[in-house]
A and B are shown apart, each in its own frame.
Chain A
Amino acid sequence: MNPSKSFLSLLPSDAGPEARRRSELTPARHDARARPEAGSERKPRSFVPVVAVGWLGANVILAGCAAQATAANETRPATTGAPWGRLTHAQVEVLLPKAVVPGSTMDVGVRFTIEKDWHLYWNGQNDSGTPIEIELRMPAGFKAKQTLWPAPERLVEPGGILNHIYEREVILIVPVEVAKDANVGPAEIAVESKWLACKEACVPESGGAKATLKVDAVPAAHAALYVHEAVAKVRAALPIELAKDDPRVKASIDGRRATIQAPDAREIAFMPGSDCTPVKTLAERGVARSDKLEIELAEGPNTIRISGIVRVVNLEGVRAYYHIDTYAGARPESGQDRP
């Protein structure tokens, strides 16, 4: 039995004919699966307890029955770190290492499992939609740093509407500093999140989750305790930060045009970050099937900043993602925001 399948098949959006049509888009799908962060951790997860919980909140009269029905299901998985909240098109979880040592930094993963055919939004430039928002609640001595966003996918919809999205699953990473004097013992980390889920329709949704880890005074012998495997895989696949004069990707600005080049690329795509100078007609011209992508910038201030993610497919068909950040004119004062 595949519980997640039976759950999804009850939802209106999982209509047969459309799902079949959708599955014809195999090239992109295969690409998405080939990405380590997208494909490596995908297992059928049981949604049944989630349904029961969400439904409980929605209908008080039959709540007793549902609760007992759930209790009767002896095979349901452990709920630690599992999503809670009402029935939504995405479910949120907190992924933690088993333990952390005071005075170190760990990665907290916030995983969104997204219903088939629906998508959530990246925090760079999009023509519509709203980026995912997350907020962590942590014990004293825990400090969250800037959230790291995996590379999204481009989605071009009718009317030349371009969005950068996540389908199926995304794990946002929040590096967290744990102070030297943090209390030893169990620590709970909760996330509150808001997102806009869209397919054809868009639905503003929210949810939360929590999980617990151990703050250990003495480092444990096994390093694996200090990382969550799925989070570590996503971190390894995050866009690469380019050093100055890094030969892998070069961006140059000439007036209101910019050129992004990568040697050995057969395809280059540019996904502008939130602080990038707006680019014209990126829906049509954001991808070049060559080693050079030329983009045209919209009218605006004289300081031009080309920042965001460059997706490069090399001659062997291997994808890589890079962060670029290039200026022409005076350098903006606050440049720490990513992407």
Chain B
Amino acid sequence: MKQLWSLVAVAAIAMSASVVAQEGAKPAAKPGEKQVQPAQDGKKEAKKDKAELKIGDKAPEFALKDTEGKEHSLSSLSGKIVVLEWFNPDCPFVVKQHEKTSVMADLVKKYGDKVTFLAINSSAPGKQGSGAERNTKAKTDWKIDFPILLDETGEVGKAYQSKNTPTMYIVDAKGNLAYWGAIDDDSGAEKAGKTNYVAKALDELLAGKPVSQSKTKPYGCNVKY
């Protein structure tokens, strides 16, 4: 009898594990590298990040394909205010602003006719949230009516020095960086914040005023470069 119960227990554990397997992400293609040889890392990375991107700088140009294969470039949008959302459909903080709350949908509803929205996903191939298929599904599931651009090399993400999903950027009509940071002031993964920094910045930009709070600390997952 005891053996029978043990078998049931094993089956139960296996089942619970399979539930986790579905929910959890796929095993990482490459684990996070611990900084074991800082001197070497220093040399390698130092060249790349000489110029720190600042508010007011020309926003880095990009030309990326969306989930349907259509190309979008920043230069083709000159004269327009552009909101960029760094995106990964499997990051719980991205899930928050598209599924758990209507934070993104509300922004698009309110500003969509005056402002261009683009999501950019810098997940490397094989890493969490990567690929046209996964992002097409997210676009459908979450009824996202703006393009999700795939930046599989991570070049655009690194040019924007984006480290988090989600990170929000606003490029003004002159093509300069006007806002960089979090979407709002609740850094959890459950609910919307009291102040939406992006809405505030867009209100100011659309009224021809300078953005009063142009940089905030982004929160969320790391970008899966």
CA distance A18 to B31 in the complex (A): 7
Instruction: Specify which of B12, B36, B49, B222 is in contact with A157 (CB 8 Å cutoff).
Output: B222
Q: Which residues of B contact A163 (CB under 8 A)?
A: 222
Q: Which residues of B contact A283 (CB under 8 A)?
A: 35, 41, 45
Given contacts A73-B9, A159-B158, contact A289 B39 (CB under 8 A): yes
> A28 within 8 Å of B by Cβ?
yes
> A27 within 8 Å of B by Cβ?
yes
Q: Which residues of B contact A153 (CB under 8 A)?
A: 34
Task: A52-B13, A130-B188, A200-B27 given; name 15 further pairs at CB < 8 Å.
Answer: A10-B17, A12-B20, A12-B27, A13-B27, A69-B12, A70-B9, A72-B2, A155-B35, A160-B163, A161-B223, A161-B225, A201-B25, A269-B38, A280-B52, A284-B46
CB-nearest residue of chain A to B49? A281
> B224 within 8 Å of A by Cβ?
yes
Task: Please give me the 6 A-B residue pairs with the lowest Cβ-Cβ distance, nearest first.
Answer: A201-B25, A69-B9, A200-B28, A287-B38, A159-B225, A10-B17
A72 and B49 form a contact (CB under 8 A): no
Query: CB-CB contacts of A178-212 with B at 8 A, as 1s and 0s?
Result: 00000000000000000010111111100000000
Q: Which of A69, A154, A287, A298 has the most CB of B within 10 A?
A: A69
Q: List 24 A-B contacts (CB under 8 A).
A: A13-B27, A22-B31, A25-B36, A28-B34, A52-B13, A58-B16, A62-B8, A65-B8, A66-B12, A69-B12, A73-B6, A157-B225, A159-B222, A161-B222, A196-B189, A200-B29, A201-B221, A202-B92, A267-B38, A280-B52, A281-B45, A281-B52, A285-B46, A298-B52
CB-nearest residue of chain B to A56? B12
A284 and B49 form a contact (CB under 8 A): yes
Instruction: Specify which of A66, A127, A154, A200 is in contact with B25 (CB 8 Å cutoff).
Output: A200
CB distance from B17 to the nearest CB of A (A): 4
Q: Which of A54, A59, A161 has the most CB of B within 10 A?
A: A161
Chain A 34-68 interface residues, beta-carbon cutoff 8 Å to B: 48, 51-52, 54-55, 58-59, 62, 65-66, 68
Q: Is the interface of B mostly helix, strand, loop or mixed?
A: loop
> B169 within 8 Å of A by Cβ?
no
A69 and B49 form a contact (CB under 8 A): no
CA distance A246 to B225 in the complex (A): 42
CA distance A320 to B52 in the complex (A): 32
> A78 within 8 Å of B by Cβ?
no
Query: CB-CB contacts of B38-72 with A at 8 A, as 1s and 0s?
Result: 11011011101100101000000000000000000
Given contacts A117-B31, A128-B163, A284-B45, contact A159 B16 (CB under 8 A): no
CB-nearest residue of chain B to A54? B16
> A15 within 8 Å of B by Cβ?
yes
CA distance A156 to B127 in the complex (A): 17
> B33 within 8 Å of A by Cβ?
yes
CB distance from B54 to the nearest CB of A (A): 8
Q: Which residues of A contact B197 (CB under 8 A)?
A: none
Q: Which residues of A contact B31 (CB under 8 A)?
A: 18, 21-22, 25, 117, 199-200
Number of interface residues, chain A, beta carbon within 8 A: 65
Given contacts A12-B20, A161-B222, contact A18 B35 (CB under 8 A): no
A156 and B157 form a contact (CB under 8 A): no
Given contacts A65-B8, A204-B188, contact A155 B34 (CB under 8 A): yes
Number of A-B contacts (CB under 8 A): 191
A160 and B49 form a contact (CB under 8 A): yes
B-side residues, CB < 8 A to A, are 2, 5-6, 8-9, 12-17, 19-21, 24-36, 38-39, 41-42, 44-46, 48-49, 52, 54, 90-93, 122, 124, 127-128, 154, 157-158, 163-164, 187-190, 219-225
A128 and B222 form a contact (CB under 8 A): yes
CB-nearest residue of chain A to B129? A201
CB distance from A284 to the nearest CB of B (A): 4
Instruction: Specify which of B33, B122, B188 is in contact with A156 (CB 8 Å cutoff).
Output: B33
Instruction: Specify which of B16, B21, B42, B219 is in contact with A59 (CB 8 Å cutoff).
Output: B16
B164 and A127 form a contact (CB under 8 A): yes
Chain A 225-272 interface residues, beta-carbon cutoff 8 Å to B: 267, 269
Q: Which residues of A contact B127 (CB under 8 A)?
A: 200
CB distance from B116 to the nearest CB of A (A): 25
CB-nearest residue of chain B to A154? B35
B49 and A25 form a contact (CB under 8 A): no
Given contacts A58-B19, A284-B45, contact A155 B12 (CB under 8 A): no
CA distance A7 to B5 in the complex (A): 17
CA distance A127 to B90 in the complex (A): 18
CB distance from A51 to the nearest CB of B (A): 5
CA distance A269 to B52 in the complex (A): 22
> A87 within 8 Å of B by Cβ?
yes
